[in-house]
Amino acid sequence: MTPLRQRFIEDMQLRNFATTTQRSYVHYVADFALYFNRSPELLDLEAVRQYQLYLLQDRKLSAQSVSTFTSAASFLYRVTLAMPWTKDNFPRPRIPETLPVVPGPDEVRRLFQYIPGIKNRAALMLCFGAGLRVSEAVSLQISHIDSARMLLQIVHGKGAKDRYSVLSPALLQMLRTYYRIERPAGPYLFPSWSPQRHISAGVLQRACTEAWQLAGLPKRITPHSLRHAFASCLLDSGVDSRVIQVLLGHKRIATTARYTAVSPAKIAATVSPLDQILLPKRNRGHRSRQPKA
């Protein structure tokens, strides 16, 4: 490992960057250096600009991926190399505001029927039943399950923040069944080959993809889709968005609003102004009926 890479990683660790973020930043900066076959400390802003265009035009990467590289380059030059540059020197492509994929309860129920292995099923049920990120689900420790208060303690979630999430009776029953069958040793609920290590997020992502394909569902469902579905179902049940924000571990309510604003049930239940003028009041709750001529 070069001294620059070592310092780059240490600077991220000092700021409590998530492990996944550190790996992503190192990956993008390494590819950047490989593209020019030079150390990043010998490159300048023009090189960053050229590489951004290469990622967009030649490799056809998404705006989100290019933005991640830009964040990595900005941190490298402005923090690790202490260059006198500002955020304005690192322009980003505009990221399209696409709606998240939100599977309905019936689709989630069908997906779970095809998930291979009780360990994968239990971990993915945490994503849907408690709104956990896939990284939080795989790293959950047995001691963080508080069955007396029906709570899950999420330690060092995104942004190194701790929080609590709900532990429903159905989820608790599923986790107890899994525990009786698997008897996991060590601190983690879902241990890997070593009791002192947990399974990787990739294991759950592959299991979810396999189940989605076998179920033949039209919507692509990922572990993060299950987290979206958790928020959407709570919104449909009338749970306050501030409570949903806490359960999801969002820093800003605007982030939660993006999850919950696309609730299909809420949108479908909205009465159109056309119904108000064409349909009698007694029929507005039954919009499937055709108005009389």
Q: What is the mean pLDDT of the chain?
A: 88
Whole-number Å distance between alpha carbons of 270 and 155: 39
Predicted confidence (pLDDT) at residue 284 exceeds the cutoff of 60? no
Catalytic residue among 77, 178, 188, 259: 259
The class (CATH top level) of 3-89 is mainly alpha
Q: Evaluate whether 190 touches 182 at the Cβ level (below 8 Å).
A: no
- Please answer whether residues 155 and 141 qualify as being in contact, where contact means their C-beta atoms are separated by less than 8 angstroms: yes
Q: What percent of the chain has pLDDT over 70?
A: 90
Answer yes or no: 156 catalytic.
Answer: no
pLDDT band at 254 (very low <50, low <70, confident <90, very high): confident
What are 187's two structure tokens?
A: 């601190």
Neighbours of 144 (CB within 10 A): 17
Please state the domain extents for the chain: 3-89, 105-266
Token representation of residue 276: 């108000």
Over residues 128-146, the pLDDT tens digits come to: 999 999 999 999 999 999 9
pLDDT, average across residues 275-290: 61
The reply to whether 105-266 shares the fold of 3-89 is no
| Catalytic choice (5, 158, 163, 258) | 158
What is the side-by-side strand order in the sheet with 163-166?
145-146, 151-154, 163-166
Task: Give the model's confidence band at 262: pLDDT under 50 very low, under 70 low, under 90 confident, else very high.
Answer: low
Give 288's pLDDT tier (boundaries 50, 70, 90). very low
- Catalytic annotation, pick one of 110, 119, 121, 133: 133
Name the catalytic one among 224, 258, 284, 287. 224
Our answer to whether residue 250 is catalytic in this structure is yes
Is residue 15 part of the annotated active site? The answer reads no
227 is catalytic: yes
Write down the catalytic residue from 119, 121, 227, 228.
Answer: 227
Is CATH 1.10.443.10 correct for 105-266? yes
Question: Token match 């698997």: residue?
Answer: 182
Q: Would the pLDDT of 35 be above 90?
A: yes
Q: What is the pTM (predicted TM-score) of this model?
A: 0.73
Cα 254–Cα 225–Cα 31 angle in degrees, nearest 5 = 85
pLDDT tens for residues 56-115?
A: 999 999 999 999 999 999 999 999 999 999 999 999 988 877 777 788 889 999 999 999
Closest Cα to residue 211, out of 94, 98, 124?
124
Q: Are 51 and 84 a contacting pair, CB within 8 Å?
A: no
What digits encode the pLDDT tens for the residues 185-226? Answer: 899 999 999 989 999 999 999 999 999 999 999 989 999 999
SS3 sequence of the chain:
CCHHHHHHHHHHHHCCCCHHHHHHHHHHHHHHHHHHCCCHHHCCHHHHHHHHHHHHHHCCCCHHHHHHHHHHHHHHHHHHCCCCCCHHHCCCCCCCCCCCCCCCHHHHHHHHCCCCCHHHHHHHHHHHHCCCCHHHHHCCEHHHEECCCCEEEECCCHHHCCEEEECCHHHHHHHHHHHHHHCCCCCECCECCCCCCECCHHHHHHHHHHHHHHHCCCCCCCHHHHHHHHHHHHHHCCCCHHHHHHHHCCCCHHHHHHHHCCCHHHHHCCCCHHHHHHCCHHHCCCCCCCCCC
Q: What is the pLDDT of residues 151-190, one digit of tens each?
A: 999 987 676 678 899 999 999 999 999 999 999 989 999 9
